[in-house]
Amino acid sequence: MKKLTKKQLTWYGIAGLGPNMLNLMVGAYLCDALMTEGFGENVEHWTYLNKTLIVIVVWSIFVTIAKIIDGVIDVPLGAFTDNLKSKWGKRRPSMLGGIIVMLLAYLMFLIVPVNAANSIGNTIWFFAWLCVFYSAYTLTMVTYYATFSEVTDNQADRVYLSNVKSTVDIIYFVLGYAAIPAMIGLANIRVLALAVLIMMPSMIIPFVLLKERSTKPEDVAKYKEEHPEEFMDGAVEEKDPSMMESIKYTFKNKDFIVWMIIYSALQFGLQMFLTGFNVYYSGTVGFSGMKVMLCNVAAFGPVPFTLILYNWLNKKKGFKFSLQYTLIIFSIGMICAVFCRPSVFPNETVRLVAIMVSNAICSFAIGTFFSVSYTVPSQIAADEKAKTGVSHPAR
């Protein structure tokens, strides 16, 4: 695959904005918008039809099942895109198929088939389309992330691409968790869900920038005959393992196993922060509206600048020191946030300043956590391909 220039990598890092925003809307808002329980104000705007459309107990089980499917389907879909044989390559067709199905499922999820409360028919309908959406989203993004090691040829470019992607992630988090709640009084959640579709054209970027050769066996053999110089000088021949072979290679890769252990602990803390802060603000801290938005801006706004500091530390002190630094900073910020409550700061303005400072401290780590989730796996995949010829970055 053709390697991209620095300018092209900037555009490439923006591409995932649309699908990620749709995924956020589904997970953070639309799944809850099917019921009135849990909402205190603006219920008619937060929910589809101001009624509980599904059977809550069954729906909670179905959502859990959908999340499990979303987790386990990564490997087979990764195997599909890694081994796809087509005239147009293996990445673009995979992404195109994923995008089309994802958009269809997203639109179907906005339709209420039965205008009745506590309907089992509605419950099954939304569960089916939720599974389809998660599967299509996974195929799209697994394929997209797999190209990170294919459109770059050195670690510096991979770090740059990952940092761009991390900055874009912060943008959709701010839009999703700050802008959407601020606009909810102006329109129903389904209208806002349709509005975010304007971000989906971002996925046109990979189709413009990716330059793939045919992966059909006869075309691959012909290319090798016509360009023997690319397969000389001891170069390792590229292999496309099956799904089971890929799993075996994965468990033999000690670097990947160690990183997964570290990454699991890292993501646990990050997700606790990302999913819990809105409840913490409105419940424990006692904020709402503009104050919550200011807290979110303090957490996400400085991230592009904190990534610059992280990259500088990475160059000066190395990856290990930089990651340890961000983990310590994040821990300090989280500990500070625990004390930003009315019993410690009775004055609301002082409390707002305190929580914004603690969030700003956390921002020094948030961007890094996003960045390393792309940088390290793509680097491990590139190293494995260089050593063994095994190419399975999507898995």
Query: What would the pLDDT profile of 319-360 be if each residue is shown by its tens digit?
Result: 888 888 888 998 899 899 888 888 889 998 999 999 999 989
For 189, other C-beta atoms within 10 Å of its C-beta total: 22
pLDDT-derived band at 100 (thresholds 50, 70, 90) equals very high
d(CA 116, CA 108): 17
Identify whether residues 18 and 56 lie together within a single domain. Answer: yes
Could you tell me if residue 233 is inside a domain? Answer: no
Identify whether residues 203 and 323 lie together within a single domain. Answer: no
Nearest alpha-carbon partner for 77 in 144, 166, 150, 1: 144
C-alpha distance from residue 42 to each of 45, 105, 174, 234, 274 (Å): 5, 27, 21, 66, 23
Q: Is the predicted pLDDT of residue 66 greater than 90, yes or no?
A: yes
Could you tell me if residue 243 is inside a domain? Answer: no
Identify whether residues 213 and 277 lie together within a single domain. Answer: no
pTM score of the predicted model: 0.78
For 42, other C-beta atoms within 10 Å of its C-beta total: 13
d(CA 38, CA 351): 26
For 138, other C-beta atoms within 10 Å of its C-beta total: 22
Identify whether residues 347 and 264 lie together within a single domain. Answer: yes
Cβ pair 57, 51 in contact under 8 A: no
Could you tell me if residue 343 is inside a domain? Answer: yes
Could you tell me if residue 33 is inside a domain? Answer: yes
Could you tell me if residue 116 is inside a domain? Answer: yes
d(CA 192, CA 182): 11
Identify whether residues 216 and 314 lie together within a single domain. Answer: no
Could you tell me if residue 381 is inside a domain? Answer: yes
Torsion of CA 374, 379, 385, 390, to 10 degrees: -40
Q: Is the predicted pLDDT of residue 26 greater than 60, yes or no?
A: yes
Q: Is the predicted pLDDT of residue 63 greater than 90, yes or no?
A: yes
Identify whether residues 197 and 272 lie together within a single domain. Answer: no
pLDDT at 229 (0 to 100): 66
DSSP 203: G
Q: Which two tokens stand for residue 28?
A: 């953070």
Q: List pLDDT tens digits, range 173-203.
A: 778 877 887 788 788 999 999 999 999 999 9
Identify whether residues 21 and 142 lie together within a single domain. Answer: yes
Question: Quick check: helix, strand or coil at residue 174?
Answer: helix
Rounded to the nearest integer, the mean pLDDT of the chain is 85
pLDDT at 259 (0 to 100): 79
pLDDT average, residue stretch 47-70: 94
Torsion angles phi and psi, residue 298, rounded to 5? -65, -30
Angular region, 89: left φ>0, alpha ψ -120 to 50, beta rest: left
Angle 225-230-232 (CA atoms, 0-180°, nearest 5)? 90
Q: List pLDDT tens digits, range 131-149.
A: 999 999 999 999 999 898 8
For 104, other C-beta atoms within 10 Å of its C-beta total: 14
In sequence order, what are the residues at sequence separation of 6 or more whose Cβ sits closer than 8 angstroms to the Cβ of residue 378?
A: 145, 148, 149, 152, 158, 162, 393
Q: Is the predicted pLDDT of residue 213 greater than 60, yes or no?
A: yes
Identify whether residues 138 and 98 lie together within a single domain. Answer: yes
Last residue of a domain, one of 171, 204, 225: 225
Last residue of a domain, one of 225, 243, 265: 225
pLDDT-derived band at 101 (thresholds 50, 70, 90) equals very high
- If one compares 281 and 80, the residue with the highest pLDDT of the two is 80
Identify whether residues 168 and 279 lie together within a single domain. Answer: no
Could you tell me if residue 238 is inside a domain? Answer: no
Tell me the CATH number at 151: 1.20.1250.20
Q: Which two tokens stand for residue 183?
A: 């606009």
Identify whether residues 349 and 213 lie together within a single domain. Answer: no
pLDDT average, residue stretch 53-70: 94
Question: Quick check: helix, strand or coil at residue 390?
Answer: strand
pLDDT at 287 (0 to 100): 77
Q: Which domain holds residue 186?
A: 1-225
- Inter-axis angle of helices 91-109 and 120-146, nearest 10: 160
Q: List pLDDT tens digits, range 243-296.
A: 677 677 667 778 878 878 887 888 777 777 766 665 577 667 777 667 877 888
Q: Which two tokens stand for residue 175?
A: 């839009």
Q: Which two tokens stand for residue 358?
A: 């603690």
DSSP 30: I
Whether the CA torsion 324, 308, 270, 73 is positive or negative: it is negative
d(CA 95, CA 146): 11
What's the structural domain count of the chain?
Answer: 2
Q: Which two tokens stand for residue 27?
A: 């997970």
In sequence order, what are the residues at sequence separation of 6 or more whose Cβ sits closer than 8 angstroms to the Cβ of residue 370?
A: 165, 166, 169, 170
Last residue of a domain, one of 185, 205, 225: 225
d(CA 91, CA 211): 10
The position carrying tokens 């021949």 is: 237
d(CA 384, CA 236): 11
Q: Is the predicted pLDDT of residue 24 greater than 60, yes or no?
A: yes
Cβ pair 178, 48 in contact under 8 A: no
Torsion angles phi and psi, residue 116, rounded to 5? -145, 150
Could you tell me if residue 125 is inside a domain? Answer: yes
Identify whether residues 219 and 258 lie together within a single domain. Answer: no
Identify whether residues 169 and 264 lie together within a single domain. Answer: no
